[in-house]
Structure 1
Amino acid sequence: MSDLTIAIDVMGGDQGPLVTLPAAMLAIEKSADLKLILCGDNTLISNFLQQHQLEDHPRLSIKHTTDVVTMDEKPSSALRTKKDSSMRKAIDFVHSGQAHACVSAGNTGALFSIAHFVLKTLSTVERPALISALPTHHDDKHVFMLDLGANVFCDSSVLYQFGVMGTVMAEQVEGINKPRVALLNMGVEEIKGSDHIKMAATLLSENPDINYVGFIEGNDIFNNKADVIVCDGFVGNVALKTCEGVARLVYQKLKSVLSQHIFARLLGRFFAPTLKKLFKALNPDQYNGASLIGLRGIVIKSHGNAGVTAFTNAIFEAMKEVERQVPEKITKKLEHGITNTHLS
């Protein structure tokens, strides 16, 4: 796609412009067809561009904003009072059609609320979801997991829709043919789980376009037993943060062991770069960018503490979803799938 335009929330995230601006510069260097709208403080952005001799770059433009959505701000407050924030303006550009997508590392709750309010959901979608590709034991394979925190509780029809949306993401973003879809549950037996989980399983299994493979337990999330894992936002967020905590625990324990005596310290110094790279890759929150799917536009959420490389990856994720027309294909898949289930 030529002239692909993405709006960047420059001020969002734990480090804001210290990360977002270098990432924007890197993305522009790597993609000749990319245009960026930088939403944030004009003086700050202009000074950065001048320092890097980019003030007249034809594929960079600035939208000055006066407000910033802080990381601890209540979503309702951000939606009501921060209409001139960098986050709101980035989403507004998607709504107006001036940008094909937006990327933000800001407050997740505020981003979800503003995006939902401004963009609205697709006609066949009850609720949008937060989805991300996570690593598996196989270096070249990922698993998409949703919802990661946008919806605390989801009934069977919403979980069914998540399965369809996750299928489209796996097909279009990862190129997986007939991705395997599983429901995260407390056991793999059909009798396990709540009534809405069991009904969601029935709905997914009855859709011939969905390759439903059954229930999956938390200890198999990264074992390549599914390409898409579906759950409600409460369960998904707890699972994600638990995995992150375990990765950090293992890293700290190993670091402690390797510092106990001189031989271990020598080994630790030798393997330190490899170990740091490994555990960063296993940290789910740092893995690429999460997408708010089910909206009438593409919104990518980068982790608030992401570095330059991670935020750049989030921009590339947005580009990929635009090029593959993910929202349009979700709509088509759901419209077709609904006629083949009890939801009709």
Structure 2
Amino acid sequence: MALTQARIAVDAMGGDHAPAEIVAGAVRAQEELGVEVLLVGDPHQIEAALKKHINSSHLKIIPAEGIVEMHEEPLGALRRKPKSSINVAMDLVKQNQAEAVVSAGHSGAAMAAALLRLGRLKGIDRPAIGTVLPTMIAGKSVLILDVGANVDCRPKFLEQFAMMGVVYSRYVLGNNDPKVGLLNIGEESSKGNDLALRTYQLLHENPTIPFIGNAEGRDVLSGDFDVIVCDGFVGNILLKFAEAIGEVLLQIVREELPQGLHGKLGTALLKPNLRRIKQRIDHAEHGGALLLGVDGICIISHGSSQGPSIFNAIRLAKEAIDNQVLERIQASYQTIPAPTGEPE
């Protein structure tokens, strides 16, 4: 069972705007979400950032030495820097001193540290990064996984992604009857490459997965699917393209707003609508992606994350804790048949 007050370790040194923006998001999260935040990193830099906030005295600082730079090879850097902020943050979860980790640093290092420190959940061969995107149906989102953890996949990996996605969609996103799709180049079962064809067969034959068929690119944001699975190569391209489209749409809205005095009056009237538009399509509003399949809650945020995005990443971690995502994924492998395995 999750603790009454979720305790979340935040890699304060990870990201383009660390530690100032990381600290800003953490301070707000502790105030508004009722969580306990552990800021991991260089105490002097973190303390300097905390001084800019009035209500920051209750945040704890966990010392760490060094960070994994964006240009470094993850595994080698993690071994050379055992006391780096991401390693120390993961160790806090491993030692049950925290229930989740949030990092906007090197995503490859965060994933590698999670695997090395926390290990995989029983029954999971590869963890997957899952991200939530808005759809054309107001109030409804779609979970895409994998979006970057596994560039090359086997069919059974995608089958496991689907099972984890169903649990997350059902208990965190609130979809009582989630519909699963396989990202492909056509709706027909005969379409796609070898990976798609073999995965389709596994998903279709697994009675525990509510699989409704292939999802083409145009279907991703339609709202017809609640969970869409793909390999990390395709998923990462899809994610980055979706983020770019969101930024383009926001820019178009800004440019097309009328100018002058009348324009300012009109914009003021439209502010609530514009705010809702931004919340639906701006990736910063979602905070980051959940690394599903490791034995701990791990949120991987964008390297460019600022305060609001870190706040939302911590909120995402709290939701995963409160809804017992880890326990439910593990239980799904204990109470129902495991994935059927790959067809010969």
TM-score (norm 2): 0.89
Q: Which runs of no fewer than 5 residues in structure 2 stay unpaired?
A: none
14, 22, 25: which is aligned to 1:23?
A: 25
3-state secondary structure, aligned to 2:60 = strand
User: Which residue identity lines up with residue 40 of structure 2 in the other structure?
Assistant: C
User: Which residue identity lines up with residue 3 of structure 1 in the other structure?
Assistant: Q
- The aligned residue for residue 304 of structure 2 is 305
Pair 1:99 & 2:98 matched: yes
The correspondence of residues 226-245 of structure 1 with structure 2, limited to 5 A, is 226-245=225-244
- The aligned residue for residue 319 of structure 1 is 318
3-state secondary structure, aligned to 1:174 = coil
Offset of residue 66 of structure 1: 1.9
User: Which residue identity lines up with residue 27 of structure 1 in the other structure?
Assistant: A
Mapped to 1, the partners of 2:284 and 2:188 lie a distance apart of: 30
- Say if 1:185 and 1:8 are closer, same or farther in 2 by CA, change over 3 A: same
The correspondence of residues 57-96 of structure 1 with structure 2, limited to 5 A, is 57=58, 60-96=59-95
Offset of residue 296 of structure 1: 0.8
3-state secondary structure, aligned to 2:181 = strand
Offset of residue 320 of structure 1: 1.1
3-state secondary structure, aligned to 1:247 = helix
- Say if 1:287 and 1:316 are closer, same or farther in 2 by CA, change over 3 A: closer
Q: Tell me, yes or no, if the aligned pair for 1:244 and 1:285 is still in contact at 8 Å.
A: no
- The aligned residue for residue 214 of structure 2 is 215
3-state secondary structure, aligned to 1:246 = helix
Mapped to 2, the partners of 1:193 and 1:134 lie a distance apart of: 24
Mapped to 1, the partners of 2:276 and 2:57 lie a distance apart of: 37
3-state secondary structure, aligned to 2:97 = coil
User: Which residue identity lines up with residue 208 of structure 1 in the other structure?
Assistant: P
Q: Tell me, yes or no, if the aligned pair for 2:78 and 2:84 is still in contact at 8 Å.
A: no
- The aligned residue for residue 154 of structure 1 is 153
Q: Tell me, yes or no, if the aligned pair for 2:179 and 2:212 is still in contact at 8 Å.
A: yes
3-state secondary structure, aligned to 1:140 = coil
3-state secondary structure, aligned to 2:126 = coil
- The aligned residue for residue 36 of structure 1 is 37
Paired residues, number: 340
- The aligned residue for residue 134 of structure 1 is 133
- Say if 1:47 and 1:243 are closer, same or farther in 2 by CA, change over 3 A: closer
1:161-212 per-residue CA deviation (whole Å, 9 max, x = no partner) reads 0000000110111121121000000111111012322222222222222211
Mapped to 1, the partners of 2:342 and 2:336 lie a distance apart of: 9
- The aligned residue for residue 179 of structure 1 is 178
Q: Which runs of no fewer than 5 residues in structure 1 stay unpaired?
A: none
Q: Tell me, yes or no, if the aligned pair for 1:95 and 1:118 is still in contact at 8 Å.
A: yes
Q: Tell me, yes or no, if the aligned pair for 1:91 and 1:115 is still in contact at 8 Å.
A: yes
Mapped to 2, the partners of 1:77 and 1:342 lie a distance apart of: 33
The correspondence of residues 239-318 of structure 1 with structure 2, limited to 5 A, is 239-252=238-251, 278=277, 281-284=280-283, 287-318=286-317
Q: Tell me, yes or no, if the aligned pair for 1:203 and 1:342 is still in contact at 8 Å.
A: yes
- Say if 1:81 and 1:197 are closer, same or farther in 2 by CA, change over 3 A: same
3-state secondary structure, aligned to 1:189 = coil
- The aligned residue for residue 340 of structure 2 is 341
User: Which residue identity lines up with residue 69 of structure 1 in the other structure?
Assistant: V
Offset of residue 251 of structure 1: 4.3
- Say if 1:284 and 1:48 are closer, same or farther in 2 by CA, change over 3 A: closer
- The aligned residue for residue 6 of structure 2 is 4
- The aligned residue for residue 47 of structure 2 is 46
Mapped to 1, the partners of 2:82 and 2:266 lie a distance apart of: 50
Range moving further from structure 2, 70-79 or 169-178: 70-79
Offset of residue 252 of structure 1: 4.4
- Say if 1:282 and 1:51 are closer, same or farther in 2 by CA, change over 3 A: closer
- Say if 1:149 and 1:248 are closer, same or farther in 2 by CA, change over 3 A: same
Offset of residue 323 of structure 1: 1.6
Q: Tell me, yes or no, if the aligned pair for 1:39 and 1:90 is still in contact at 8 Å.
A: yes
User: Which residue identity lines up with residue 9 of structure 1 in the other structure?
Assistant: D
Mapped to 2, the partners of 1:339 and 1:6 lie a distance apart of: 31
User: Which residue identity lines up with residue 76 of structure 2 in the other structure?
Assistant: S
- Say if 1:69 and 1:272 are closer, same or farther in 2 by CA, change over 3 A: farther
Pair 1:122 & 2:121 matched: yes
1:259-301 per-residue CA deviation (whole Å, 9 max, x = no partner) reads 9x98997799668965586356424465332011100111011
